[in-house]
Amino acid sequence: MIDIIKFFLILSVLLVFTIPSETAFSGSGYERGEEWSVQKQFLEPHSIVFDSNDNFYVSDSGGSTSNESIFKFSIDGKFSKSLIAEKPYAMTIDSSDNLYVVNLIDSEFVIDKMTLDGEILSRYDKSNVYTIDEETSLGIDSNNNLIIKSGSNLQKINPNGKSIGKWDLSDISGIEKVDSGNFAVDSEENMYFIGQGEDKITKIDSELNYLFEWTVNKPAGMIVASDGTLFVNYGAPGSSVALFSKQGELRGELGNFADVIFRDFVGIALDSNENIYVVDKENKTITKFPRSTAEINQNQENKEITSEEVTNSQIDPSSLELETGSSDESTKIPDWIRNTMQWYIDGSISEEEMISALQYLIKEEIIKLD
């Protein structure tokens, strides 16, 4: 296995100055696309959500004298209006376009349910929910119930404000050490958790049964697409977004470019076409990663990505070839595999995860085996 790693490290050094950074999305189904930016000055952007009309909302926890700290934008990035919130953090939105916001008011954290015009419909505080803090995460299930994740506690509240249940997650295998952190819920009511300071994601079902977990380098936030693909922003400083299948298999990674270095991804969202939008807290920007036409067509044809076990004996370093083409955009070793190799050398990921990355290159015919 070590010989394989050395081979790829040498190959990466040879290629690093010739592979344009813009091609780092190989295999992810996403591309850099056209220039796109939000014309708004943020203080400390935190969370991003989309409504049913593809307008998006960004919370700014930096605070302002006017308390206008939630900003609405149209799909083209044009600023529309501000909503009043003293110090907003996490947000989520239900199918009826009700906005839920973790808000700091007079040194106390609350969760406000509001309309998209900023009218507060109800407020949840420590008297009717578990402890709320700036690390509290919010989600919506298929029945429009609000899911509140704070520390090792989970609570569901129905659209009428009635508590459905409260659960302590500390005894569940795989997340017994979970503190505060992000989580996501898919269409089957499975939940994905990031424990604070934990380099892993744990998946449990709707009955709180442990399913499995996998290692991710410094995960910070997540969102699940309609097909079950899990998008994870991670790795500050020098942030990226990784794409995983519902089984936790790595599908691709969105990395840095020659002219922009991402610093601290915190919030992540998808529009109706599943283009990715990420909040960079340190750069104070919103970045859009367009979904490629090829990936959309592939999903429409219901093609599934499968995996096969790769063992050391299946790979002969002397038989590995780099496929070439007629243009600079031909097959290449993408940035994410270079990152993966470095993490393996540093001991941040396991040998099994390194093998999975090599398997992906072979499967996509970036590396050919004779």
Are residues 184 and 274 located together in one domain of the fold? yes
Q: Which residues, at least 6 apart from 146, have a Cβ–Cβ distance to it below 8 Å?
A: 92, 94, 100, 111, 113, 138, 139, 140, 156, 157, 158, 159
What is this structure's pTM?
Answer: 0.71
227 occurs within a structural domain:
yes
Residue-averaged pLDDT of the chain? 76
CATH label of the domain that carries residue 227:
2.120.10.30
Amino acid at 329: E
Is there a single domain that holds both residue 189 and residue 102? yes
Nearest to 102 by CA among 126, 63, 134, 72: 134
Let me know whether 274 and 326 are in one domain: no
Cβ-contact 268, 222 below 8 angstroms: yes
Question: Does some domain include residue 300?
Answer: no
Least confident piece of the model among 6-10, 160-164, 239-243: 6-10
Asked if 9 and 58 sit in the same domain, the reply is: no
Number of structural domains found in the chain: 2
62 and 144, same domain (yes or no): yes
| 206 and 152 in a common domain | yes
Is 291 a residue whose pLDDT tops 70? yes
Domain ends where: 291, 326, 350? 291
pLDDT class of 340 with cuts at 50, 70, 90: low
CA distance 136 to 219: 15
**Which among 240, 256, 291 is the end of a domain?**
291
Band of the pLDDT at 357, cuts 50, 70, 90?
low
The 10s digit of each residue's pLDDT in 236-248 is 666 788 899 989 9
Q: Six-digit token pair at 213?
A: 């977990």
Residue 223 in any domain: the answer is yes
Last residue of a domain, one of 291, 325, 348: 291
Q: Is residue 32 part of a domain?
A: no
Q: Are residues 128 and 255 in the same domain?
A: yes
Angle (CA) 137-140-146 rounded to 5° is 75
- pLDDT tens digits, residue range 106-152? 889 999 999 999 999 999 998 888 889 888 999 999 999 999 998 88
Domain assignment present for 33: no
Q: Which domain holds residue 17?
A: 2-24+310-369
Structure tokens at 4: 């394989």
Question: Looking at the domain assignment, is residue 77 inside a domain?
Answer: yes
pLDDT at 23 over 50: no
**pLDDT tens track for 60-72:** 998 777 788 999 9
Q: What is the pLDDT of residue 55?
A: 97
Check residues 28 and 130 and name the one with the higher pLDDT. Answer: 130
3-state SS, residue 136:
coil
Q: How far is the C-alpha of 112 from the C-alpha of 85, rounded, in Å?
A: 9
Q: Is residue 302 part of a domain?
A: no
Kindly report, residue by residue over 73-90, the tens digit of the pLDDT: 999 889 999 999 999 999
- What are the backbone dihedrals phi and psi of residue 18, each rounded to the nearest 5 degrees, phi first? -115, -15
**Among 18-27, 51-60, 104-113, 124-133, whose mean pLDDT is lowest?**
18-27
Copy the structure tokens of residue 50.
Answer: 């989309």
Q: With contact defined as beta carbons under 8 Å apart, do 276 and 32 qualify?
A: no
In this structure, is residue 134 part of a structural domain? yes
